Amino acid sequence: MHLSWSSKLYAEAGKKDQLYRIWKHYGQTRKVFNKGYMTMMGLLLKLDDVKGAEKTLRNWTSKNLPYDFGLPSSLIDAHCKNGLLEKAQSLINHAETKKGVT
């Protein structure tokens, strides 16, 4: 099972529960890298599941993976579009503390 292919089908069908089922299985059967987290966050944001994307970002930050500004960037964009500027600024501030981010 490939996360990008199968999860995209469920997201396009609006089946968030199935998307989460695949994500859970994916995480239990293999190590999830940045691309997997980015894919899941993007699909959740397309479904307007900002809380789910926030949870996915928190999960990603708890892992020992290389920092990739692309992950919080998509959530920053969603927060700005929803008028949640303080949340967006908080993510920006956190990103600025990471190595290699200026």
13-48: per-residue pLDDT in tens? Answer: 999 999 999 999 988 998 999 999 999 999 999 999
**Would you say residue 102 lies in a domain?**
no
**Confidence tier at 102 by pLDDT (50, 70, 90):** very low
Which range of residues forms the domain containing residue 77? 3-96
- Asked if pLDDT for residue 2 goes beyond 70, the answer is no
> Per the structure, how many domains does the chain have?
1
Residue 83 DSSP code: T
Euclidean distance between CA atoms 76 and 84, whole angstroms = 9
Cβ contacts of 101 within 8 Å, gap of 6 or more: 67, 69, 95
Residue 101 lies in a domain: no
What's the pLDDT tens digit per position in 51-100? 999 999 999 999 989 999 999 999 999 999 999 999 999 999 988 888 65
33 in a structural domain = yes
75 is a domain residue = yes
Q: What is the pTM of this model?
A: 0.86
